[in-house]
Every structure is written in C-alpha cells, then in structure tokens.
Structure 1
Amino acid sequence: MQSRKIVVILKGYPRLSETFIAQELLGLEQSGLELSLISMRHPTDKKRHPVHDEIRAPVLYLPEYLHHEPLRVLRGLWAAVRRPGFRKALSAFRRDLARDVSRNRVRRFGQAAVLAAEWPEGGDWLHAHFIHTPASVAAYTSLLTGIPWTCSAHAKDIWTSPDWELADKLATNRWTVTCTETGFHHLRTLAADKTTVHLSYHGLDLARFAPFTQERRPRDGSDPADPVVILSVGRAVEKKGYDLLLKALASLPADLAWRFVHIGGGTLAKSLKGMATDLGIADRIDWLGAMAQEDVLARYRASDIFALACRIGADGDRDGLPNVIVEASSQRLVCLSTTISGVPELLSDGENGLLVPPEDPEAIANALERAIRDPDLRKQLGDAAERRVRKNFDYHTSITQLRNLFETEWRTAE
C-alpha cells in the first residue's frame, strides 16, 4: 500500500506554545508520511523550536484576513463556484452562518475557497489540528474538493465550541482523535458514530527529554541565599490561573525562602506583574518571556518545583493535559497542579505529584509550603512522575496510532 500526501491545516505555524503539534508532524514524517502544511495565520513568535527546523513539509499561508488579499480571495471564490461541490459547501456555510453570524465564519469560507484553488499538488487527504476554526476550513474545503478530512481535537477548541458545531463536524469527518479522557468522553456524547472518536495522548519525544541524572540540591526554604526555585511554563492567560498562583505565593510564611520563575508570553503578563507588585512579591519573581525548548529544558533541570494552577475560564476554555507538566515530570521535577481536565490522567496526588482543587489559592499555598519544606518528598514524587511518563507517555505510541488510522482509510479506499 502506497502512502498518500496529507494536507494539514493549522491555526498558526510555527508556534512556540504548540510544540506537541510540531513534534507530531515530525513524527509522522519520520514514519514515512508526506505532509503539506496549511497555516491560517503567519507566525508571531520571534523564536523557533529546533523541531520546527527538522520538519521538511512546505507551508502555505492562507489570507489571515480576506480584505488583506482581495484578489487572491476572489480568484479562489471564482474557482469554487465552478466546482461540483460548491452548492454543498455553500449550503453548509449558510446553515452555519445562520447559527453563527460573524466575520470569522465568512473568513473561514473564504480561506477554504483559497485552499481549494491553491491545493498542494498530490494532496489527497485533509487533516485539521483543532476542531474549531481549522476544522471549519477543512469541512468547507472537503465539500468543495470531495477530499475526505479528519481532525485532531485538543482543549480550548473543544470546550469553547458549541455542541451543534462539534456534532456537525464529527458527523462529516472520517474520524477525530483527542488527547484527554475528558475531551474523549465529551466528543463521544456528541458523535452519531462513537467509534469515529479516538483517544490519543500526545506524549513526548523522550530522546529530546533525556533523563536528568543529577541530584537536585536539598533546599528546604530555610536559606534566603539559596531559595527553593518554583517554575511555571505557560501563557499568561486566564485558564492558566496565574493570579491564583500569585495569591498563593504571597500567603506563604514570610520566613520561607523561595523564588518564582515564569516562562511564556500572554495577554495578561502586564497585569500579573502589577499584581505581583501589589502583593509585595515582585522582587522574588523572574518573568522570562517565551523561550526555546532547549532553554526551557535547562530551566526544568535547574528548578525544584513546577506549578500550574489550571482552571476553567469564564468562556469555558481550559487545558487538556498541559504538555509542560509531562515535560517537567520527565525531568524528575515534582509538579503541583489542579484537578482540572486531563491533569489527573498523569498526576495522582501524593503518589507522583501534588493536586489541589481549582480556584483555591489557600490549597495551592499549603501544597507549595509542604513541597518547599520537604526535599525528600519532592524527590519521591518527582521520581515517580518520571517513571510514569517514560512508561506511558512516549509519543511514538500516538504516532503509530495516527499512522494506523490513516492507513486503514487508505486501505479501505483501494
């Protein structure tokens, strides 16, 4: 059986915050599949991860806003009108627009027309990463071209999409994979054919996250000259709960020596820095901004505790299983987080990590104090977390699963 070229639609590429997607793309290429990447947005990050430079697939950037490239959009629409699938695509678009009257909806149809007109040579399968806007472009493009499509759903895209839209996409694509049990069960309740929804954890490329063999210093918060280092990696957005974490840090005993290090960008960074100043802890925090993967790895190894106060945002947005928790665990770094979404699928409180209820700064503070004062506990939990990751979260498993799903479709079509 000959493999086929997969056209992969992404919201933006490359992105520092989506290392797990780049890792999957590279893994699929290394497994022998040919890819062509379609990005709905141009990159905004100033840095790239090494994995991005290893991916060979070409990238086509769609018009991010239709009015920025009107001639390109008009050419796409003119070509779309003459396609046999245009009436079906237009009917689906009108039905969706009636339930979601927005510029965003119009933009997705225009992007689909451009993609259909500029279709990568040899592409005969369509796969969307994220079941919200990239899947909308995929669904319209599939109707225009007659090319089948599939989808990888993650976290925000599931929980901020209305059920009617999820149900429609699950009904029109061939299959969907998602990366947490909570997302898996939610999508299965909406799918007409539940067998088309699959659970597939991202995992890590454990060659990039080799075992950390050194022993960490037994800091216990008693020496101001050698504070316990608490690390967090994540965008400064509501669902990451950094306001809760700052409140917890501010309530720690005054004589406890700690330092907090944050890696990541995000729209709330400025307000969080102001909050830290108001809480009187600004001088104990380092805001490092976005960093490349190899620099983040070095920080995991230089830290004593990893903390991420995951929560459900006001719009329903939430994490799945944050990849940074898997990464930190792979380096024997004890992780403190909340019982939101997929986090308990990796961490068990008191066994290989520390879990607290969401929205509870006092519980976060109590768990932090316990971890700061007890280096033996940190070592015990960190070692157990690493064993779990290396046993159950190797990304080769998910790559094999995805390749098998694609190949089953192609074998059926022969």
Structure 2
Amino acid sequence: MKLAVIVTEYPKSTETFIYRDLVKFAELGAEIRLYHLTAFRHGQTLHAFAEPTRGWVRPIALLGGPALAAFARAALRHPLVLGRTLLQIAWAYRAHPKIALKSLALAPKALAIAADAKDWDAAHVHAEFAGHPATAAWIGHRLGGPAYSVSCRAHDIFRTQQLLDAKLGEAAMVRTVSDFGRAFLKDKVAGMAARDIQVIHSSVDVTRITPVDTLPSTAPFRILYVGALEPKKGVQHLLDALVEAGSALGDWCCELIGHGPSADALRAKAGALGLSGRVRFLGMQPFEAVAAAYGQASVCVAPSVIGPNGRQEGIPNVMIEALAYQRPAITTAISGIPELIRDGDTGLLVPPGDAHALAEALLRVQRDPQAALEMARRGRAHVEAEFDLAVNAARQLALFAG
C-alpha cells in the first residue's frame, strides 16, 4: 500500500520509535512518503537504522508555492468548508493562542500534503501524534484528502484535549500506545467513550536484539539513563537518589545519554552535589553506542515525573529497549508505565519524584543482582509477547488498509 506519514519534526533523534515503525512498514511492503511540518532539522542525528527514511521525505515549505496554491484552490472550491474548519480551530484553541496560531499557520501546508498524497494515490495518511500532525491530516481530509489515522502517545493528549473530538472523531483509526491512554481518551474526550480505540504498544525489533544474560561481574555498579534532559524525565531526582544512596552503593558510576533544555541545570546540580566524578553527561549518542551502553549496564533507570503543563510519558521507549536487552529496570508508576514494568516482576516501580524510594530501589538491585537479572528475564519475555515490532507493525498496516 502507499502510505503517507505526517510528523512534526524531521529528523528527530529521540523519535526512534517512529522510524522503527516506518522501516518495518517498508520491509512489509509499504511504499512511504514522509512529510514533516517544521523546517528540516539539519543539526539532528539520524540513526543509521533510520537512514532509509531520508529518501522518503517530501519537502514542502510552510508558506511556499505549493502550499499557497493548495490553500487558494481550497478557498475557491470549498470556501465554506475551509472557513468552518479554520473557525473551528480558532474556537477550540481560544484558551491556547499559541497552539491556535500554529495550527492555523500550518493549514496551507496541510492542504499541500493532502494534495501531494492524493496525486501519489496514497491509500492512507497516518499522523504520528495527536497534536499538529493530526491537525494537518484532519484539515487535509476535510478538504478532500485521503482517509487518515492517528497515533496518540503522551503529551499530545495529556497537555490539552481541545479539538481532539474532531480530529479523532473523523479519523478512520485511532491508536494509543497504552491502555492508560485509551482510558484517558474515553474519559476526557467527547465521543470517544463509544469509539473503538486500538492499543498498539511502541515496539522494538526483538529479533535483532540479543539479550545479555549476565550482569557486569566487576565494579563499578553501572547506572544508565537514556533520554531527553527535560523536566518530565525526572533526572534531578535520580541525582538526589544517588546522593542518598551514597557509599552504600559501593563503587558506582552513572551515565546520562541524551540532551535537552535541562542539561546545564543538571550538570550544575551534579557538581553542587559532589557527583561530578561519578556522573557522566555523554550527550546525544548514535544508536550503536546506546546499544553498547545497555549491554554494559547494571541497571537502567527512567525516573519519570509529571512535568509542567501535565507533560508526562506514555510508556518510555528506553524502558522497552532496556528490557529487550534484558537489563534490570527501575522507573516510576505513572501513566502507562505499569503496563511494561510490573513491580517486582519485570522491574521495579517507585513513586514519581521520590528520591528516597529510588535510592532504595537502586540498592535493591545492587545487593541482589541475581534477583534483578531474573526480573530482567521476565521483562524480556514480556517485551517479546507484547512489544514486538514485527507483530505490531503488521497489525498497524492491516488497520491502515482498513
């Protein structure tokens, strides 16, 4: 099938979960065109496994000739539908003027994407995230573009539910990555209670990840964090937990892989806490280096919290990866995380923002590595059963085909 996919940004080094899906879709026979709403991000790393996606990108400028021409055609042919659609956006986001302006500004590009996809004879348009990508797919469909679906993940539905009733209500298929997300939509969004919402977890290719069936036998005790350095990730609480655990952890080190707006503040905090010699900020790393870090880790930690404006995780993809590599995992009991990490079974859960509980969990893994490895083995089996890329990608394609 010919599949058009809309994302907000491209490339984006942290959105490996999207690129995994796209590459697998192509392996399963789909032809793909990829549209990004913002300008091409030249400074971002595109991991080697995602390199094929570069050839699928269709660059359309936000207010370039094709976008303006598509908007003019829509205004001439369907002025009432276009006008009602734009008014609906403005009214829905009246309490969020920044979102309203961005949504209205992308209308010409959304129409150009729809026209390009239709000319290509795309069978379906898929929006990755329920925010601006879903808005673009919805606008295009309203003005005669292909049927569309939406993947709902985390902040895209938790931050605001405005306009979701229209965007999701008119979609051919709605997918969330967690049961928590489905329950949230059914509770918070008009019309969703009776809607058939598909739960398809974010996935990893378990056939290409060899589980590491041992833990490091020599010091130091290696603590690994992978992800963006931003408030909702809760890394500040990990630093506090390391101080609290102190010498009881023995010889330890902590590696932080990723970048983000909190990086400087976290470096300063680590220095102020006297952790600079043990905590290493490695910045963004290629996927191959991240994979090696998983294999060497004694424990992987995702100390997620609910951040500003309700921003929170769906299910952290790094925790899925950690379990795929069969690493002991510690994270927090928010959102859909308990669907992956079952406390004491596939990993350890602590309350969000609780540095003391996080310190205790680290010590538990350090003191009983064999029990931690047993949990990691059960975690790998859980990922194989519910988070396998081949199974979940095939399921998505079948739903797209409808």
Q: Gaps (5+ residues) in structure 1?
A: 220-225, 409-414
Pairwise mapping of residues 72-83 of structure 1 onto structure 2 (< 5 A)? 73-83=67-77
Q: Does 1:229 align with 2:226?
A: no
> Match for 1:177: what amino acid?
R
Q: Does 1:106 align with 2:104?
A: yes
Q: Is the 8 A contact 1:336 1:353 kept in 2?
A: yes
> Match for 1:126: what amino acid?
V
Structure 1 position 110, deviation (Å): 2.8
Alpha-carbon distance in 1 for matches of 2:72, 2:395: 39
Pairwise mapping of residues 333-372 of structure 1 onto structure 2 (< 5 A)? 333-372=327-366
RMSD: 2.0
Structure 1 position 229, deviation (Å): 0.5
Specify the alignment match of 1:167 in structure 2: 165
Report the TM-score when normalising by structure 1: 0.89
Structure 1 position 161, deviation (Å): 2.3
Of residues 90, 103, 110, the one that matches 1:97 is 90
Alpha-carbon distance in 2 for matches of 1:306, 1:166: 35
Q: Does 1:280 align with 2:239?
A: no
Report the TM-score when normalising by structure 2: 0.92
Of residues 35, 42, 45, the one that matches 2:32 is 35
Of residues 300, 309, 312, the one that matches 1:315 is 309
Of residues 60, 63, 70, the one that matches 2:61 is 63
SS across alignment from 1:184: helix
Alpha-carbon distance in 1 for matches of 2:122, 2:156: 25
Alpha-carbon distance in 1 for matches of 2:335, 2:370: 28
Deviation string for 1:123-165 (max 9, x for gaps)? 2422111001111111111112242211111111111122x32
> Match for 1:39: what amino acid?
H
Specify the alignment match of 2:288 in structure 1: 294
Specify the alignment match of 1:206 in structure 2: 206
Specify the alignment match of 1:387 in structure 2: 381
Structure 1 position 46, deviation (Å): 3.7
Alpha-carbon distance in 2 for matches of 1:58, 1:149: 18
The 1:270–1:327 alpha-carbon spacing in structure 2 relative to 1, beyond 3 Å, is same
The 1:363–1:243 alpha-carbon spacing in structure 2 relative to 1, beyond 3 Å, is same
Identity %: 28
> Match for 1:132: what amino acid?
G
Alpha-carbon distance in 2 for matches of 1:202, 1:306: 18
Structure 1 position 310, deviation (Å): 0.8
Q: Is the 8 A contact 1:83 1:144 kept in 2?
A: no
> Match for 1:26: what amino acid?
V
Alpha-carbon distance in 1 for matches of 2:312, 2:344: 24
Q: Is the 8 A contact 2:238 2:355 kept in 1?
A: yes
SS across alignment from 1:232: strand
SS across alignment from 2:353: coil
Q: Gaps (5+ residues) in structure 2?
A: none
